[in-house]
Structure 1
Amino acid sequence: MKKFIVFFTVFIAACNTTNNTTVDLSNVDTTNPYLVGFYVKYSEICAQFRGSGANNLSIHALKQQYQQNARFKKGYAVNNGTEGFDAVTNLDHCDLAKAVVNKASKYQKIS
């Protein structure tokens, strides 16, 4: 029983830790429609499977802004095949995707 309590305590402590690291966007061109499309879709996948995507209003606004842009559509389509029925792998850059979408939506003066 003691092992269970120790394990449970460590498990709860691990679950409550937060990642307070900031994302460096200096190398990301948030005005490039292809990259914006790529990260919009990536952020949608992060939201669906990890609950950590960008603001839905920002995503929607960017999709409306670029709805006729072929480069945005190509970038968006790159991540279409990464989601499955109930799981997805390699979601290591959700924080980056969220930051890119948020910065792009502010750059485009979309609130």
Structure 2
Amino acid sequence: MRQIAGVFAQLEKARLVAKLKAARDRKRASGVKVEGRKSYAELDQREHGGQMIALARKLRRRSPKAGRRSLRDISAALADAGFVSESGKPYAATAVARMLGEL
């Protein structure tokens, strides 16, 4: 009896895997990102209309008077502007570097 139940479980799993793979392939064919974590650019576009990364790039540019800002300073400025991580904390310096494409 257990053997028969095991066979049906394997069959059901194989069918489910095939169905999910076909759905992922269809979605990928339409040009949509299917797997993996969303990039900061995708999150920014969806939540802020592209303003967060534009502000970070503007802040990173070299100023004739002050020079180039540090990643931590940019993170603090983004937090002051209301751009914080999903947990509500300011972005880490490495996250700002990833936003800017430096990592």
TM-score, normalized by the shorter chain, greater than 0.5: no
Structure with the greater alpha carbon radius of gyration:
2
Normalised by the length of structure 2, the TM-score is 0.29
| Bigger RCO of structures 1 and 2 (CA < 8 A, at least 6 apart) | 1
Normalised by the length of structure 1, the TM-score is 0.27
